[in-house]
Chains A and B, each alone.
Chain A
Amino acid sequence: MKSAGFRYHDPQRIDDLLSLLGRFEDAKILAGGQSLMPMMNMRFVQPEHVIDINGVQGLDGIHADAAAGKLRIGAMVRQKTLMQSAALRAACPMVPQAVAHVGHFQTRARGTIGGSLCHLDPAAELPLVMLLHDAVLTVQSATEVHQVDMADWALAYMLPAISPDEALIEVALPLAPGWTGSGFVEFARRHGDFAIASAGCLLDVDDRNIIRRAAIAVGGVAQVPTRLPEAEALLVGQPASAPAFAAASDAARKIDALSDAYYTAAYRQRLAGVLVERALGQASKGTDHG
C-alpha cells in the first residue's frame, strides 16, 4: 500500500502554483493531504505530478473585509484553525460545532477548508456549512480569476466546479449574515466518521418568533450536499415551533437520496427528516452555540 511514483513540486507563490497547474496535464494539488494521501497510498489515484501548496504564501489567513462585508478564509486554513478562529465564530457560529465532527484532532491539524471543499465528499461537514452560508469561492487559473457561488460548486458526486488548471484560493462568507440561530446535527456510527447523514440550518426569527428567513441543508443524503428550498419556504412566515419544524422535516424526507452497501436511500431520507427537525430545534433556541 505504497504510493506510485510522482514528480513533486512545492511552489511558494500563487503565480507559480497556477503556472504549474497550467503546465501539467495530470497533476494533483496536495493541501492537507487527509483525503489525497490515503488515495495515493492505496493507489486509487496515481498522479504524474503532485503540487504541494503547503508552502504557498497567502493562502492561510482569515480576515474580515469590512468594506466588502465579507469574511475571507484562505484555502489552506487548517480545520483546527477554523475551530479556534474568533472572527469565524462570530460570523458563523456553526463552524466550530460542525468542524468538531471532521475526523479527529490529528487530522484536523492538517486538513484544510480548501481540501475539504475540493474533495467534496457528500457527507463532509465543511461543504454543507459553506452551502448553508452562501459562501462564495474564488477560483483562479494562470489566466483568469472567477467567483463560484457555493450553490453552483457541486456539479455531481465528488465533482466540484473547478478545472484541472485552476486552484481554489479563497472562501468568502457574509460577515454579518444576521441569522438569529443555527443548528447542526450529524449522525455517524462513530465519532469522527463521515456522517451517514447530517443537517444544518439557519434561522432568522423576529421578536414575535416568526421566521423571516431560513436555510436548510443536508449532507451525506444525496450525491452532493444539498439545500432544501422547499423546506425552507415552508418555514418562512411561520412561528419557529414544532409544527413548522415537522412540516420542514416531512419535506426533507422527500429528498432524492443515495444508497450504498450499508444504508438504503429510504433510511437516509428518514434520517434527513429526523436530523432537520433536530437541527431546527437547536436553531430556534437562539444563537448561543458555546
Chain B
Amino acid sequence: MGARLVGAQVQRLEDPRLLTGKGQYVDDIVLPGMVQAAFVRSTHAHARIVSIDTTAARAMPGVRGVFTLNDLGPAVARDRMPQTAPSPAIRRSVTQYVLARDEVCYVGEAVVMVVADTRHQAEDAAARVLIDYDVLPAVVDCRAALTGQTAAHHGAADNLAARLSVGFGDIEAAFRTAPHRVTLTLDQHRGVAHSMEGRAVLAAQDAVSGKLTVWSATQSPYMVRRFLARVLGIDEQDLRVIAPDVGGGFGPKAVFYPEEAALAAAAVKLGRPVKWAEDRKEHFVSTTNQRDQHWQMDVAFDDTGKIHGIRGHVQHDNGAYLPYGLILAATSLAPFPGAYALPALQMTLDVIYTNTTPTSPVRGAGRPNAIFAIERAVDRVADHLGLDPAEVRRANFVRADQFPYVTGMKARDGSPVAYDSGDYAACLDRALDMADAAGFPARRDAARAQGRYLGIGVASFIEDTGLGPFEGATVRVTPKGRVTVLTGAASQGQGHATTLAQVVADGLGVALTDVTVISADTERFSYGAGTIASRIAVTAGSSAHLAAAKVRDKVLRYASDKLEVAIGDLELNGGFVHVAGVPEMRISLGDVALALAGTVGQRVPSGLEPGLEATAYFESTATPHSSGSTVAEVEVDIETGAVTLLNHVIVHDCGKVIHPGIVDGQITGGAVHGIGNALFEDMLYDAEGQPVSTNFGEYLLPTATEMPPIRIGHLETLSPLNPLGVKGAGESGTIPAIPAVVRAVENALAPFGVQINRYPLNPERVVNLIDASRGKT
C-alpha cells in the first residue's frame, strides 16, 4: 500500500482546539488552592549581595511565603544549577544558583521568590523586598572581556569558558598556494527568541503519594525531569513533568531554568500548587537570548573563485552563565564548510562570559552565524574577482555525485561528518529561477532611472538536523479501533500530533482522525530528549513509523492465522485487515486489539506478544543534512536608509515532505525570524550592563506589513539515514535569511561601493555606510 497521508496537505489535528480558545497552556491550568509566584530580580549587571530583608514583604496581604536561596531547603541551596550539557571542552563551567546566593551576574537574575494568593499581591510584596547590593564592575563587551581586568564572576581569573577549535586539511598549504586572499571582520548579533507565550511553570505535590508534578512550558520535559530531580534530591520516579500546549519555543525553552526548581521547592514547602507565568519584561532579561559574535576570517581562493582554505577566529558572548554547555557555541562552527567542498579549514572560537543574560540556542542556534560568515566570504570572493556570486557558489558546491560527502569535520560524538544527500546546485538554480534573477538587471536599471536602488542577494546553506540520540514512540490500537501514539517529543506549534498521525495512519491503513497523539508527559512515555535542532520528524517520525510497522506486522500475523491466508495476500485499509481483492474477508483492527488484549484462561492467539501495541526508538546515529538556497530582493532608500523587502524565495531540500503546509509554515516563519535578525531585532545593553531593549516598542519583532512575499520551492532528495527519508525543516528558513538580505542591501548600494559586515542593519547604519563610502571616494 502506498502512502496516502504522508505528503498530503491534511488539516491539523491540533487546530480545532486552538482555534476555539480550548488550548491548555500552563497559565490556563487552575488547581485547587493554587497560589502565584513573582520574582525579585537583580537590577545590577554585577554586584555582591550584602543583605536581603524580606520582613516587609512577608507582612504584605496575601503572602504565603518569601524565599531566598536558603529558604528553598538544603538540597536546592547546596550547589549551583547542574551543567545540563557537560562537555570535556568546557574550561570553566559556571551556572547560576536557583536563587542568587551572594552575587548577581546579570540584570534579571532571580534573587528572591515571593508567593502570594494572586500575582498582583506577589508583585506588591516583591516590591517590598529590600536587597542591599555592593555594585561590582561589569564586563559587557566580550571583546574586552578577555583583555581587561574585569571578571564577570567575582574572583575568577578570567572570563574564558571554553576555546573551541575545528579544522581539517592543510591550511598552511592552502594559503601558500592560492593566488588570492580576502579578510573579513564581521559583527553579528542575534537577540531574544520571543515565543509569544513566555515561560510558565506550575508545580504541585500530591499530598498522599508525595509525587510532584511540574507543568512547564518547555521544549524538553525529560531533561527538566532529570535535572529537577537532581536539584531537589529526589528520584525521577517521584517527579512527573508535563509540557501541555506550549506557545512557541524557538530554543530558549529547551533550557532547564532556575524558576522550575524554585517553584517545585516552594510547592513542596507550602503544600500548595504554585504557579508562575513569566511576563514579557522578565522574558527579555531572564529567558536565554543569543547575543554578539565577532568574526575574523581569512579566505584563500583561486582565479575561478574556488576556495582553497578558510581560517579565522570567533569571539562569542555567552552571557553570565553556561546553562546549556557549549551547544550554542559549537553550532557556530559545526556548519562549516557550508554547502561547499572545502579543502582546508582552521577555525577557533572563544566562549566568553559577560555580565549579560545567559545565552542558549535561538532558532538555528549558531548556524545562522556560521552560514552568514561563509556566505559573506563567498560574496567577497565573487566581488574580488568580479564574478557572479551564484557562479562562485556553483564552483564550490559539493556536487550531487559526491554524496555521501565527507566534509572533514567531526560530529559531536567525534565521528566524521558526512552530508547524506542533496543537489545544492539544483536548489540554487531553481531559487534563482523562482526569483527571476535573470530579470533583475532590467528591474534594477528601471528603478535606477527613477532614482531608486534595488539589490539582490543569494545565500546557500546546509543544516545538520535530526540530532541523536532518539525520540521514541509507542503505537497502540484500542478495541474500538482507535490508535494512540505516545511519544516524549514535546510540541510548541510544529504540528507533531498531525505529522506523527499521518505516518502512523499510513502504516496501519486507518483514517487520520482515528489517531490521537499524546506527547511530552513523562508519565505517559518513558524516555525523551527534547524538541531542538530540527530533529523530531527524523527521530520521533521514524520511531512512529517503525512502531506502526511492528503493529502492522502483528495484525498481519494474527489475520493470516485467523483467515488462513498468506500474509502477502493481506491488506490493511479503512481500519480493517482484509484479503486482497476480497474486502468482505476482513477483521477490524479493533477486534485484533481485543483478541490480543487477552482473555482469562486462554492463550494469546497466533503466538503473538500480548497487546496490539509496539514501541520503537529510532536512534539517529548519522546526521541528515537539509540544504537549500535563498534569494532576497530589496529596495534601499538612500536618503533615509530604509530597506524595503520586495521578494524572498527559498528552495529547500528536507527530503521527504510529510506535510507540505507544516513544512512551508516552518520555513516561512523561520525566514521571517531571520529577516528580523537581519534588519530589526537589536537587544542593546549600555556600558554598565543595563539592558536597553526591554519592551516590544524597543525590541522590534517583524510585523506583517514589513514582510515580503515569501515563496518556497522543494527539492525532495530522500535521506538514506532514516526509514522516512526525511531531514529537518524547523530552522532552515532562518539560517540563510540573514546573508541573503544583507547581500541584497549591499548589492543595492553597489554604486557606492559599500561593504556590509554587520547586522542588524538599522537605517542609520545603512546611511552611515553610504556616507562612509562617499567620503572615501
Question: Which single residue of chain B is at the shortest CB-CB distance from A270?
Answer: B767
Inside 8 A of B697's CB, which chain A residues have their CB? 193-194
Does B705 contact A1, Cβ atoms closer than 8 Å? Answer: no
Determine the distance from Cα of A63 to Cα of B680 in the docked complex, in whole angstroms.
42
Q: Among residues 1 to 29 in chain A, which have CB atoms less than 8 Å away from a CB atom of chain B?
A: 1-5
What per-residue 1/0 map shows which CB atoms of B633-648 lie under 8 Å from chain A?
Answer: 0000001101000000
In the complex, A189 has a CB within 8 A of chain B: yes
Does B764 contact A267, Cβ atoms closer than 8 Å? Answer: yes
A190 touches which one: B120, B123, B703 (CB < 8 A)? B703
Q: Among residues 194 to 226 in chain A, which have CB atoms less than 8 Å away from a CB atom of chain B?
A: 194, 196
Does B703 contact A191, Cβ atoms closer than 8 Å? Answer: yes
B120 touches which one: A2, A261, A262, A267 (CB < 8 A)? A2
In the complex, B400 has a CB within 8 A of chain A: no
In the complex, B176 has a CB within 8 A of chain A: no
CB distance from A36 to the nearest CB of B (A): 15
A264 touches which one: B119, B698, B706, B764 (CB < 8 A)? B764
In the complex, B763 has a CB within 8 A of chain A: yes
In the complex, B591 has a CB within 8 A of chain A: no
In the complex, A37 has a CB within 8 A of chain B: no
Does A271 contact B127, Cβ atoms closer than 8 Å? Answer: no
Does B639 contact A274, Cβ atoms closer than 8 Å? Answer: yes
Residue of B119, B123, B640 with highest tally of chain A CB at under 10 A: B640
Inside 8 A of B282's CB, which chain A residues have their CB? 1
In the complex, A285 has a CB within 8 A of chain B: no
Inside 8 A of B693's CB, which chain A residues have their CB? 261
Determine the distance from Cα of A1 to Cα of B281 in the docked complex, in whole angstroms.
7
CB distance from B276 to the nearest CB of A (A): 12
Give the interface SS of chain B, mostly helix, strand, loop or mixed.
Answer: loop
Q: A1-B279, A189-B700, A267-B764 are in contact. Are A274 and B686 (CB under 8 A)?
A: no
Inside 8 A of A4's CB, which chain B residues have their CB? 123-124, 127
Question: Which single residue of chain B is at the shortest CB-CB distance from A46?
Answer: B127
Q: Among residues 85 to 126 in chain A, which have CB atoms less than 8 Å away from a CB atom of chain B?
A: none
Q: Among residues 247 to 290 in chain A, which have CB atoms less than 8 Å away from a CB atom of chain B?
A: 261-264, 267, 270-271, 274
B706 touches which one: A43, A190, A196 (CB < 8 A)? A190
Question: Which single residue of chain A is at the shortest CB-CB distance from B705?
Answer: A191
Question: Which single residue of chain B is at the shortest CB-CB distance from A275?
Answer: B640
Does B706 contact A1, Cβ atoms closer than 8 Å? Answer: no
In the complex, A42 has a CB within 8 A of chain B: yes
Does A263 contact B639, Cβ atoms closer than 8 Å? Answer: no
In the complex, B684 has a CB within 8 A of chain A: yes
Q: Among residues 679 to 701 in chain B, which have CB atoms less than 8 Å away from a CB atom of chain A?
A: 680, 682, 684, 686, 692-693, 695, 697-698, 700
Inside 8 A of B703's CB, which chain A residues have their CB? 190-192
Residue of A189, A196, A261 with highest tally of chain B CB at under 10 A: A189
A189 touches which one: B120, B123, B686, B763 (CB < 8 A)? B763
Give the interface SS of chain A, mostly helix, strand, loop or mixed.
Answer: loop
Determine the distance from Cα of A4 to Cα of B642 in the docked complex, in whole angstroms.
40
What per-residue 1/0 map shows which CB atoms of B113-128 lie under 8 Å from chain A?
Answer: 0000001100110010
Question: Which single residue of chain A is at the shortest CB-CB distance from B700?
Answer: A189
In the complex, B396 has a CB within 8 A of chain A: no
Determine the distance from Cα of A190 to Cα of B681 in the docked complex, in whole angstroms.
12
Q: Among residues 37 to 87 in chain A, which have CB atoms less than 8 Å away from a CB atom of chain B?
A: 42-43
In the complex, B717 has a CB within 8 A of chain A: no
In the complex, B12 has a CB within 8 A of chain A: no
User: Interface residue count for B (Cβ, 8 Å)?
Assistant: 30
What per-residue 1/0 map shows which CB atoms of A171-199 lie under 8 Å from chain B?
Answer: 00000000000000001011111101000
Inside 8 A of B702's CB, which chain A residues have their CB? 190
Does B680 contact A190, Cβ atoms closer than 8 Å? Answer: yes
CB distance from B768 to the nearest CB of A (A): 8
Does A189 contact B124, Cβ atoms closer than 8 Å? Answer: no
Does A187 contact B705, Cβ atoms closer than 8 Å? Answer: no
Q: A2-B123, A43-B127, A261-B684 are in contact. Are A189 and B762 (CB under 8 A)?
A: yes
Inside 8 A of B695's CB, which chain A residues have their CB? 42
Does B682 contact A262, Cβ atoms closer than 8 Å? Answer: yes
Inside 8 A of A262's CB, which chain B residues have their CB? 682, 684, 698, 762, 764
Does B706 contact A191, Cβ atoms closer than 8 Å? Answer: yes
Q: A1-B280, A274-B640 are in contact. Are A190 and B124 (CB under 8 A)?
A: no
Inside 8 A of A196's CB, which chain B residues have their CB? 763
Determine the distance from Cα of A196 to Cα of B763 in the docked complex, in whole angstroms.
10
User: Interface residue count for A (Cβ, 8 Å)?
Assistant: 23
A3 touches which one: B120, B684, B700 (CB < 8 A)? B120
Does B123 contact A43, Cβ atoms closer than 8 Å? Answer: yes
Inside 8 A of A261's CB, which chain B residues have their CB? 684, 686, 692-693, 698
CB distance from A253 to the nearest CB of B (A): 12
Question: Which single residue of chain B is at the shortest CB-CB distance from A277?
Answer: B639
Inside 8 A of B767's CB, which chain A residues have their CB? 267, 270
Q: A42-B281, A43-B127, A194-B697 are in contact. Are A271 and B640 (CB under 8 A)?
A: yes
Determine the distance from Cα of A267 to Cα of B764 in the docked complex, in whole angstroms.
6
Inside 8 A of A193's CB, which chain B residues have their CB? 697, 700
Determine the distance from Cα of A187 to Cα of B644 in the docked complex, in whole angstroms.
13
Inside 8 A of B682's CB, which chain A residues have their CB? 262
Question: Which single residue of chain A is at the shortest CB-CB distance from B120?
Answer: A2
CB distance from A72 to the nearest CB of B (A): 32
Residue of B281, B639, B702 with highest tally of chain A CB at under 10 A: B639
Q: Among residues 599 to 635 in chain B, which have CB atoms less than 8 Å away from a CB atom of chain A?
A: none
Inside 8 A of A1's CB, which chain B residues have their CB? 123, 279-282
Does A189 contact B680, Cβ atoms closer than 8 Å? Answer: yes
Inside 8 A of B706's CB, which chain A residues have their CB? 189-191
Determine the distance from Cα of A91 to Cα of B280 in the docked complex, in whole angstroms.
42
Determine the distance from Cα of A187 to Cα of B692 in the docked complex, in whole angstroms.
22
Question: Which single residue of chain B is at the shortest CB-CB distance from A263?
Answer: B764
B119 touches which one: A2, A5, A191, A192 (CB < 8 A)? A2
Determine the distance from Cα of A190 to Cα of B644 in the docked complex, in whole angstroms.
11
Q: Among residues 694 to 723 in chain B, which have CB atoms less than 8 Å away from a CB atom of chain A?
A: 695, 697-698, 700, 702-703, 705-706
Q: Among residues 580 to 602 in chain B, which have CB atoms less than 8 Å away from a CB atom of chain A?
A: none
Q: Among residues 292 to 329 in chain B, which have CB atoms less than 8 Å away from a CB atom of chain A?
A: none
Inside 8 A of A43's CB, which chain B residues have their CB? 123, 127
CB distance from A41 to the nearest CB of B (A): 9
Inside 8 A of B684's CB, which chain A residues have their CB? 261-262
What per-residue 1/0 map shows which CB atoms of B641-680 lie under 8 Å from chain A?
Answer: 0100000000000000000000000000000000000001
Determine the distance from Cα of A1 to Cα of B695 in the docked complex, in whole angstroms.
12
Determine the distance from Cα of A4 to Cα of B698 in the docked complex, in whole angstroms.
24
CB distance from B374 to the nearest CB of A (A): 28
Inside 8 A of B705's CB, which chain A residues have their CB? 190-192
Determine the distance from Cα of A262 to Cα of B698 in the docked complex, in whole angstroms.
9
Question: Which single residue of chain B is at the shortest CB-CB distance from A187?
Answer: B640
CB distance from A43 to the nearest CB of B (A): 7
Does A190 contact B281, Cβ atoms closer than 8 Å? Answer: no
Question: Which single residue of chain B is at the shortest CB-CB distance from A197?
Answer: B640
A187 touches which one: B281, B642, B686 (CB < 8 A)? B642
Determine the distance from Cα of A42 to Cα of B694 in the docked complex, in whole angstroms.
11
Question: Which single residue of chain B is at the shortest CB-CB distance from A190?
Answer: B703
Inside 8 A of B279's CB, which chain A residues have their CB? 1
Residue of B124, B692, B705, B764 with highest tally of chain A CB at under 10 A: B764
| Selected A-B contacts with CB under 8 Å, 23 pairs | A1-B282, A4-B123, A4-B127, A5-B120, A42-B695, A187-B642, A189-B700, A189-B763, A190-B680, A190-B700, A190-B702, A190-B705, A193-B700, A196-B763, A261-B684, A261-B686, A261-B693, A262-B682, A262-B684, A262-B764, A263-B762, A270-B640, A270-B767
Residue ranges of B at the interface with A (Cβ–Cβ < 8 Å): 119-120, 123-124, 127, 279-282, 639-640, 642, 680, 682, 684, 686, 692-693, 695, 697-698, 700, 702-703, 705-706, 762-764, 767
What would 20 more interface pairs be, CB under 8 Å, given A42-B281, A262-B684? A1-B123, A2-B119, A4-B123, A4-B127, A5-B124, A42-B695, A43-B123, A189-B700, A192-B703, A193-B697, A261-B698, A262-B682, A262-B764, A264-B764, A267-B764, A267-B767, A270-B640, A270-B767, A274-B639, A274-B640
Which 7 residue pairs spanning A and B have beta carbons closest together?
A1-B279, A191-B705, A267-B764, A261-B692, A2-B120, A274-B639, A190-B703
